[in-house]
Chain A
Amino acid sequence: AQKVTQAQTEISVVEKEDVTLDCVYETRDTTYYLFWYKQPPSGELVFLIRRNSFDEQNEISGRYSWNFQKSTSSFNFTITASQVVDSAVYFCALSDQNSGYSTLTFGKGTMLLVSP
């Protein structure tokens, strides 16, 4: 069975600090995809990134960066110079094939609070 663990329930930082959100996954599939979503208080889940199991290159997008390490089954997310607008719940998710259809297995989420 697939499983995603986000061990950090809540993280509080002060603006401009760097913060890393951890994500560890379990799967028996050899081909899988990992995602990060952001959920601000408004409710919408915003897609941030997708990573496939064959591509271990790290990725940077502005203040966001992702570190995928297959050897440790981790897909961590770092926000550099955090801002108040980064305050949200962040979900890591794993996509597998369920009876031929892809379904998302979400972690429990990490609430990030960035104070001024």
Chain B
Amino acid sequence: DTEVTQTPKHLVMGMTNKKSLKCEQHMGHRAMYWYKQKAKKPPELMFVYSYEKLSINESVPSRFSPECPNSSLLNLHLHALQPEDSALYLCASSQGVQNNQPQHFGDGTRLSIL
């Protein structure tokens, strides 16, 4: 079982809906990440949080809004998404943001936009 838990596992939503993806880890990690992965492609980094502060936003459209309520939780709020946003969304965490720290991933949320 993964130590990074993501909910829901699957989500289908219309373009006008508002939904949230949730991620939780209890490994005491201080860095958390959101990735987007399209089929047959590698994960693409979206956001990095370090000590609950947004450190990197890879020019992600504002219809994706991250939130880190505490060191164990990471949310991704979704609003007015487009069909091309359909993808697997992966959350990851690491002890810190130093480049020697392996990232541990959750199972992901498979998102479909109608």
Contacts and interface: CB of A to CB of B under 8 A. Distances in A.
B is a partner of A? yes
A95 B100 contact: yes
Interface of A: 31-33, 35, 37, 42-47, 50, 52, 91, 95-99, 101-104, 106-109
A108 B41 contact: yes
A104 B48 CA distance: 11
Interface in B87-107: 88, 90, 92, 97-107
B55 interface: yes
B98 A44 contact: no
Nearest to A4: B42
Contacts of B41: 108-109
Contacts of A33: 99-100
B99 A102 contact: yes
B107 A52 contact: no
A33 B102 CA distance: 9
Contacts of B108: 43-44
Given A43-B110, A104-B103, A109 B42 contact: yes
Nearest to A46: B105
A35 B102 contact: yes
Most buried by B among A43, A103, A107, A108: A43
B107 A42 contact: yes
Given A33-B99, A101-B55, A102-B98, A44 B42 contact: no
Contacts of A104: 43, 45, 103
A102 B105 contact: no
Given A43-B90, A106-B43, A109-B42, A101 B105 contact: no
Nearest to A89: B40
A4 B2 CA distance: 26
Contacts of A31: 99
Interface string B65-99: 00000000000000000000000101010000111
Contacts of A32: 99
B90 A45 contact: yes
Contacts of B55: 101
